[in-house]
Amino acid sequence: MQMKISLTHASGARAATGDRQPEPGPPTDSPASPRCRGLRWFLVAALTSLLALTGTLAHAQGAWLTLPPMPTGRSGLAAATAPCPENVNGLSGTCVYAIGGFKGSTLNTVEAYSPATNTWATLPSMPTARANLAAAAATCPKAIERRKATCVYALGGTNGSDLNTVEAYNPAANVWATLPSMPTARQGLAGAAAPCPAAFTRDMRAPSGRAMEERDSRQSLGKGKAACVYAVGGLNGSILNTVEAYSHAANVWATLPSMPTARVALAAATAPCPDALRRTCVYAIGSGTTAEAFDIQASTFKPGSTGR
């Protein structure tokens, strides 16, 4: 049995197919109507724009960009991201900070790059020249003007001797301040900013004996803000598994549970924990293939103890 398929043309007429040959169309060499020519040019223009956009997106997603070089070449420096300094020519928005390092001698040089202006600027020097230090951006301590601003912290390092020096730069005031020293001097450490451990928030007391500001720290912890600066691993005569944290609210350091693996020249970062994405972990990565994570909220650490 032969099947017939009924088609409706734009004119509304119906035609049966399947039992007859389709009607011949216009010759292939016949000139296109003005309407067809207009449609053809529209499609060409649209495809050209789409191809150009595709190339731009591929470039933006997969390419490295060459930026203006730092004013000072160096190795063994630290870097952090924080708001740009106020009232510094050529800088605006968010800046990348290049801190300290080594070039023939240890440096206290600090320079900042603004992506908004594609410009570097030289900032006030660190009080202490050093290399192989760590850096992190977190809330400024009380000791610095406009404490709710974000500060860039410079941790440890070496200037021929291993250092426990901690200094903070406040972009809002364009000044450096010296903070309480880390308990453990070291170089080749890693730094990260993350919420403070709950026990630190609850139990730690400032040197004056007054309780630290629980409310601020609890709110910072609950909202995932960077209430503590973490100093992880490093070298001081031997390779360390030491982990210490600084609370900007109390202006004090505490020793936390040690890493399972002692390491130097590692990296650290803050991200959700792998087994509980609502909790925050400090990740210690590298110096080999090792990767470990400190679960801040799950820790039962108590100030002065070495337990988990």
Report pLDDT digits (tens) over 92-130. Answer: 999 999 999 999 999 999 999 999 999 999 999 999 999
pTM of this structure? 0.74
Q: Is residue 23 part of a domain?
A: no
Distance CA 210, CA 41 (A): 77
For CA atoms 257, 263, 269, 274, give the dihedral sign.
negative
For CA atoms 50, 51, 56, 61, give the dihedral sign.
positive
Calculate the CA dihedral of residues 175, 85, 152, 62 and round it to 10 degrees: -160
What Rg value do the Cα atoms of the chain yield, rounded?
Answer: 31
Distance CA 182, CA 231 (A): 8
Domain that holds residue 136: 67-179
Q: Is residue 220 part of a domain?
A: yes
Same domain, 218 and 294: yes
Supply the DSSP symbol for 196: P
Same domain, 166 and 206: no
- Final residue belonging to a domain, choices 179, 210, 228: 179
Distance CA 135, CA 112 (A): 14
The residues near 212 (Cβ < 8 Å, ≥ 6 apart) are 201, 204, 205, 206, 247, 249, 250, 252
58-83 pLDDT tens trace: 334 479 999 999 999 999 999 999 99
Supply the DSSP symbol for 58: H
- Final residue belonging to a domain, choices 179, 209, 226: 179
DSSP helix, strand, coil percent of the chain (3-state; round to 5): 15, 35, 50
Mean pLDDT of the chain: 79
Per-residue pLDDT, 247: 92
pLDDT band per the 50, 70, 90 thresholds, residue 285:
very high
178-212 pLDDT tens trace: 999 999 999 999 999 999 987 765 554 444 433 43
Q: Is residue 35 part of a domain?
A: no
Same domain, 153 and 71: yes
